[in-house]
Structure 1
Amino acid sequence: MQLTPHFTLAELTASARARAAGLDNTPPPELVPRLVRTAEMLERIRSTLGVPVIVTSGYRGRQLNQLVGGVTSSDHTQGHAADIIAPRYGTPYEIAKALAPLVSVLQIGQIILEGVKGKQWVHVSTRVPDKPANRVITITDKGEQLGIQVLP
């Protein structure tokens, strides 16, 4: 199912971990409109960066979220979030630095530069966090910091 010109439902629900574990990662029908909003946000990000955006993790059912170690309140489980990279643009740090000043313009509710267990990606969500300061943060193995920080 094509959600937007460049993003499909299959792309936002694909998971090698779910397949390997025999989990069905199909979202309930009531979450599809949220996934459309997430895909629309990804379209705005793609247009801004001027290069394709690769979704490394989108919707995660509760079982998959638990399997990958996601927090129980993860926006991924509600269809609000995607983890992305855009190698043709640059590193996750460069992507996050470019997008952070544009969160309101691009209607990004939250952006997180994540550098955990030797991997790096950018988490984007349509949901605005309760604390405005948490709209732009960096998370590493050492914890959480406000703003986009250089990753170790």
Structure 2
Amino acid sequence: MTENFSLSEFTRSTTAARRGLPNTLPGELMPAALQTLAMLERIRAHLSAAAGRDIPVQILSGYRAPAVNTAVGGSANSDHMRASAADIIAPAFGPAIDVARELAAHVGDLRIGQLINEFPGASGWVHVSTRAPLAVVNRVITITAAGPRAGIVSA
């Protein structure tokens, strides 16, 4: 689909595979998926430039069919179901919090609608979406077990 990201990578779901749930991207969501993957290309290029070396970006979760979204405990309004979001890591750049901090300063330039540092720590990830939230205060947030907080914080 793009130079560094495939449709199969964007729709891959271990939960769907384990539970036998289909996770095929509907044709009408292809434009949104392409827009999301283009954002991921911009993110990869930015992280690579910031690091001075190639930084691969791994998609942990991209498109989710509604049943898959329910199975993973996703929000009923999740941008994943619209093919407008991806949960990512970039281990060659550093932990997810470092990725989130680097991207947070460039959300406008990278055309990231929303950036969420999810569950900071060794197993955390960064959620990026092409759709901006209705409340500007929710554009860059951190979600921990204690709930959401504005900005990128470590705990």
Q: TM-score range by the shorter chain?
A: over 0.9
Deviation (angstroms), 1:119: 3.2
Alignment of 1:1-152 (within 5 A): 3-50=1-48, 51-115=55-119, 119-151=123-155
Post-superposition Cα deviations, 1:57-80, rounded to whole Å, max 9, x if no partner, equal 000000000000001000000000
| Matched letter for residue 9 of structure 1 | L
| Matched letter for residue 27 of structure 1 | L
Taking structure 1 as reference, are residues 117 and 68 closer, same or farther at Cα in structure 2, changes over 3 Å only? Answer: farther
TM-score by length of 1: 0.95
| Matched letter for residue 8 of structure 2 | A
Deviation (angstroms), 1:16: 1.0
**Greater mean deviation of Cα atoms: 118-127 or 40-49:** 118-127
Taking structure 1 as reference, are residues 106 and 116 closer, same or farther at Cα in structure 2, changes over 3 Å only? Answer: closer
The secondary structure found in structure 1 opposite 2:119 is: strand
Deviation (angstroms), 1:27: 1.3
* In 2: Cα distance, 1:113 partner to 1:107 partner: 17
Post-superposition Cα deviations, 1:82-126, rounded to whole Å, max 9, x if no partner, equal 000000000000000000010000000000000079730000000
Query: Which ranges of structure 2 fall in alignment gaps of 5 or more residues?
Result: 49-54
* In 2: Cα distance, 1:8 partner to 1:37 partner: 13
* In 2: Cα distance, 1:77 partner to 1:44 partner: 22
Number of aligned pairs?
149
After TM superposition, where is structure 1 displaced by more than 3 Å over at least 4 residues in a row?
A: 116-119
Post-superposition Cα deviations, 1:25-63, rounded to whole Å, max 9, x if no partner, equal 001100011000000000000001110000000000000
Give the conservation status (yes or no) of the 8 Å contact 1:116–1:141. no
* In 2: Cα distance, 1:80 partner to 1:141 partner: 24
* In 1: Cα distance, 2:106 partner to 2:132 partner: 14
TM-score by length of 2: 0.93
Could you tell me which residue of structure 1 aligns to residue 51 of structure 2?
none
Give the conservation status (yes or no) of the 8 Å contact 1:38–1:81. yes
* In 2: Cα distance, 1:31 partner to 1:45 partner: 21
| Matched letter for residue 4 of structure 1 | T
